[in-house]
Amino acid sequence: MTTLVALLTDPLAYGFMQRGLAAALIVGVVCAVIGVFVVLKGLAFIGDAVSHAAFPGLVVAYLLSAPLYIGGAVAAVATALLIGFVSRRGRLRFDTSVGVLFAGTFAFGVLLFSTIRNYVTDLLGYLLGNVLGISVADLVQVAVLGAIVLVIVLVLRKELLFATFDPLGAAASGLPVAALEYLLLALLGVTIVVSIQAVGIIMVVAMLVTPAATAQLLVVRFGRMIAVSIGIAAISAVIGLYVSFYLNLASGASIVLIETALFGAALSLGPKTGLFSRPALARRAAT
Amino acid sequence: MTHERTDFIAGMEPSAPDAPVRVDAMSEAPSAVRDVTPLGRPSVELQSVSAAYGQRLALDDVSLAVRPGSLLAVIGPNGAGKSTLLKLVAGLIKPVSGRISVLGDRPLGHAHEVAYLPQAEAVDWDFPVTVSEVVTMGRYGRLGLGRQPGPGDREIAARALATVGMADAEGVQIGALSGGQRRRVFLARALAAEPLIYLLDEPVTGVDARTQEDLMDVLEAEARAGKTVIASTHDLICAAQRFHEAAFLNRRLVAHGPANLVLDRQLLADTYGGHVLVLPDDGGRLILDDAHHHDDAPRGERHYHDDRR
């Protein structure tokens, strides 16, 4: 027993592990909340696009010796809003427009990156993420930005729910549906930038989609979907980080793989899709 | 049973009259109308309204006035602009020309006095919301940004749910309901908004006869209370029997008058082209809007909306 407790407490003697755990939990929770909207609105591809679009922002900030976060945030939010604009006005199929933007912005980032002569671990870290390498200053930024995102979602949860579920009905009742959509995309952009240092550009989309998708397999209420999504993300962050510590594996990938494993479990055992599920039970409800 | 298709018009150029037939005297005026707009002015009015999606004209020069207490069926073939008309009044799309007035203001000017019911296909039924959550959404427009529904709102939502006979289903996820139950719940959401104007896109499409009767009873009561009810429908029998007025739409307004005009063959021919089936029946004729007709059209038949593309 004492060995088990020691297994859990020993790593926390290290400052980097304390900071890493805090960052992983914050990032997991914020992604889990925004992820519910991403899953319900079908924005997964947009999330992927926005995270890749953050890369040129990071490189430009590095070249200008500006704070990397700011560069990433500007690029991510601008891309998210641009995608929203294109989806409302564009003539092309939406996923086509996103695909063009996505590849183009990332290529621009790689191009800029290739002009940097000396080896920069900082920037490479952003591609794959390293939550254990987070500094105190970065952790504070993550916490503040994450809190802002969560408070906005909390205050506008009923509007975001209505506009996500039935945009036409919501707009007709006077809710500013277009503004809410842009707001959601901006929040998505901020969330992605906050998450990039923890899990990296390439795996951010998993943090957004996987816990929420798992929750959707388990519950039928909006509020509970958010709660379950948060729970799954938090558990995955903790387990993933300890696994990473003891087995000396990449932290972001460990967290994402724990989330993926939980999704697999929910898919194969859950009440809606699982091997032992009886979806017919739900149908007997009302008359 | 033999059925006689109104093919006699199928070979003819279906001629939409330049000026819509207008029959102002209503066959049965609803009694005890509580007039909510000043001096019996129309609650919804369109003046020469045209609307388009890109290059395609969806509505062409439509003028229509609807008064409080009206129970108006909007009928016409697929692509006639029924949904477009409702969306214009709801303020969801803008006309390319013409004026629309809702409660004496622009569309969305009094948004919380308007309840819009989208077509069933427009809703994601896998969405994780329960029946009571959906109905409570009807209150959101009145609540304002950032304010959460209180006990009063929940009470109104519960009452609306009881009115449509779905009180037992509160905690059920909407996707677990039947098609008829889903329409009942969405009508409850509209009721919970306590609007002056109902804009309903096919509220009784694909529901069983019992549900249709129940929903029409509810709408009739709302109209009698002075609310304006405008609903698109493919069900011509329902339009003739349960609505007070009908607007015949085929991009242009063909006619607007008492609902029993739906039994007028010539108007139907003008509105639908070859898309109406008339079935001789014991008591009278049975008329069906043949909504899926053009999917498997016999050779040589004309398609009214094809001609205009």
Report CA torsion sign: B30, B35, B40, B44: negative
Using a CB-CB cut-off of 8 Å, the residues of chain B touching A161 are 129, 133, 137
What are B204-238's pLDDT values in tens digits?
888 888 999 999 999 999 999 999 999 999 888 88
Contact A158 B166 (CB under 8 A): no
Using a CB-CB cut-off of 8 Å, the residues of chain B touching A219 are 128
Contact A221 B168 (CB under 8 A): no
Q: How far is B264 from chain A (nearest CA, A)?
A: 34
Higher-pLDDT residue of B183, B292: B183
Higher-pLDDT residue of A260, B235: A260
- Counting residues of chain A whose pLDDT is more than 70, the rounded percentage is 94
What are A52-92's pLDDT values in tens digits?
998 899 889 888 988 888 888 899 888 888 888 877 776 77
Task: Please tell me the predicted confidence (pLDDT) of residue A276.
Answer: 66
What are B165-184's pLDDT values in tens digits?
999 998 899 999 999 999 99
Least confident of A240-244, B31-35, B59-63, B232-236: B31-35
In a domain, B86, yes or no: no
Task: Please tell me the predicted confidence (pLDDT) of residue B252.
Answer: 92
User: Mean pLDDT across the stretch A4-17?
Assistant: 86
Task: Please tell me the predicted confidence (pLDDT) of residue B73.
Answer: 95
In a domain, B140, yes or no: yes
Task: Please tell me the predicted confidence (pLDDT) of residue A7.
Answer: 84
In a domain, B280, yes or no: no
pTM summary value: 0.82
What is the CATH number that goes with domain A15-270? Answer: 1.10.3470.10
Domain that holds residue B162: 123-195
Contact B129 A221 (CB under 8 A): yes
Task: Please tell me the predicted confidence (pLDDT) of residue B305.
Answer: 39
Contact A165 B169 (CB under 8 A): no
User: Mean pLDDT across the stretch B120-144?
Assistant: 91
Whether pLDDT at A287 is above 70: no
Contact B129 A282 (CB under 8 A): no
Task: Please tell me the predicted confidence (pLDDT) of residue B13.
Answer: 37
Based on the structure, what is the number of domains in chain B?
Answer: 1
pLDDT category of residue B15 using cuts at 50, 70 and 90 = very low
Tell whether B121 lies on the interface with A, counting CB pairs under 8 A: no
Closest chain B residue to A37 measured between Cα atoms?
A: B127
Tell whether B112 lies on the interface with A, counting CB pairs under 8 A: yes
Whether pLDDT at B146 is above 80: yes
Task: Please tell me the predicted confidence (pLDDT) of residue B163.
Answer: 95
Interface test with A, best of B117, B130, B140, B199 (most A CBs within 10 A): B140
Q: Chain A residues with CB-CB distance to B under 8 A?
A: 40, 155-156, 158-159, 161-162, 164-166, 168-176, 216, 219-222, 224-225, 282-283, 285-287
Contact A175 B141 (CB under 8 A): yes
In a domain, B136, yes or no: yes
Contacts of B164 (CB under 8 A, 6+ apart): B184, B185, B187, B188, B191, B214, B215, B218
Contact B127 A40 (CB under 8 A): yes
Task: Please tell me the predicted confidence (pLDDT) of residue B301.
Answer: 36
Contact B115 A168 (CB under 8 A): no
Residue among B118, B143, B189 minimizing CB distance to A168: B118
- Counting residues of chain B whose pLDDT is more than 70, the rounded percentage is 75
Cα–Cα distance between A164 and A218 in angstroms, integer? 20
DSSP string, A143-171: HHHHHHHHHHHHHTHHHHHHHHH-HHHHH
Distance of CA A4 to the CA centre of its chain: 31
Interface test with B, best of A164, A168, A225, A273 (most B CBs within 10 A): A168
User: What amino acid occupies position A26?
Assistant: I
**Mean pLDDT for chain A?**
87
* Residue environment code for A167-182, b if the CB has 16+ CB neighbours within 10 A, otherwise e: bbbbbbbbbebeebbb
pLDDT category of residue A197 using cuts at 50, 70 and 90 = confident
Contact B140 A158 (CB under 8 A): yes
In a domain, B26, yes or no: no
Tell whether B194 lies on the interface with A, counting CB pairs under 8 A: no
Q: Are B256 and B62 in contact (CB under 8 A)?
A: no
Closest chain A residue to B175 measured between Cα atoms?
A: A283
Contact B173 A282 (CB under 8 A): yes
User: Mean pLDDT across the stretch B42-54?
Assistant: 92
Whether pLDDT at A233 is above 80: yes
Task: Please tell me the predicted confidence (pLDDT) of residue B307.
Answer: 35
Using a CB-CB cut-off of 8 Å, the residues of chain A touching B118 are 166, 168-169
Closest chain B residue to A90 measured between Cα atoms?
A: B54
Contact B128 A283 (CB under 8 A): no
Distance of CA A243 to the CA centre of its chain: 21
Contacts of A188 (CB under 8 A, 6+ apart): A34, A37, A38, A43, A46, A47, A50, A80, A208
DSSP string, chain A: -HHHHHHHHGGGGSHHHHHHHHHHHHHHHHHHHHHHHHHHHT-HHHHHHHHHHHHHHHHHHHHTT--HHHHHHHHHHHHHHHHHHHHHH-SS-HHHHHHHHHHHHHHHHHHHHHH--S--HHHHHHHH--GGG--HHHHHHHHHHHHHHHHHHHHTHHHHHHHHH-HHHHHHTT--HHHHHHHHHHHHHHHHHHHHHHH-TTTHHHHHHHHHHHHHHH--SHHHHHHHHHHHHHHHHHHHHHHHHHHT--HHHHHHHHHHHHHHHHHHHSTTTSTT--THHHHTS--
